[in-house]
Amino acid sequence: MHVFDQLQGELDSAGRPLIVTQPCVADELAAAGDLVKGKISGCPVAVVRGLGRLVGGLDLPGASSIVRSSEKDMFRLGADEAHRIGFDEGYKAAGAAAETKETVNDADTGL
C-alpha cells in the first residue's frame, strides 16, 4: 500500500490549496483497525473498504519509509526533555547575543 497520501495541490473543505500535506495513512489505518477490532478481542484483522487508491504493488517502500532519523523526529522527546533542550538552547543564544551586544557597546565607547 501507499504509506503516505499525496494531497499537495488538492483543495481543503474551504477551497484553500494544500501545499505540504502528506498524511501517513498507514499509521491512520493501523490506529483505526485497533479501534475497530480491539486490542484483546482475539480478532486478527479489520477490513477496510473505500481506499483502493492506496493499494499498490509489492515494490512499494512500505513501513520502513516512515521511520525518521532522530534529527527529523519531532516527537522523539517527552515534554520535559524538549523543554530542557529548548531552554538550554535559548539560554546559550541569549548569552551569545549578550556577548555580541557587549562587544558592540565596547566598540562604541572605545573601551
Whether 25 and 49 map to the same domain: the answer is yes
Cell numbers given for 103: 562587544
Mean pLDDT, rounded, for 68-89: 82
- Hey, how many other C-beta atoms are within 10 angstroms of the C-beta on 3? 19
Q: What is the DSSP letter of 52?
A: G
Whether 58 and 80 map to the same domain: the answer is no
pLDDT score recorded for residue 104: 46
Predicted TM-score of the model (pTM):
0.52
Whether 23 and 63 map to the same domain: the answer is yes
Whether 86 and 34 map to the same domain: the answer is no
Whether 47 and 77 map to the same domain: the answer is no
Q: What is the DSSP letter of 79?
A: H
Taking the C-alpha atoms of residue 25 and residue 5, their distance in angstroms, rounded to an integer, is 6
- State which residues form the domain around 12: 1-67
Whether 60 and 13 map to the same domain: the answer is yes
More confident residue, 20 or 41: 41
Taking the C-alpha atoms of residue 34 and residue 43, their distance in angstroms, rounded to an integer, is 10
pLDDT digit string (tens) for 11-31?
Answer: 999 999 998 778 888 889 989
Whether 29 and 44 map to the same domain: the answer is yes
Whether 84 and 41 map to the same domain: the answer is no
Assess whether pLDDT exceeds 80 at residue 111: no
Whether 44 and 60 map to the same domain: the answer is yes
Taking the C-alpha atoms of residue 62 and residue 64, their distance in angstroms, rounded to an integer, is 6
Whether 60 and 73 map to the same domain: the answer is no
Whether 16 and 47 map to the same domain: the answer is yes
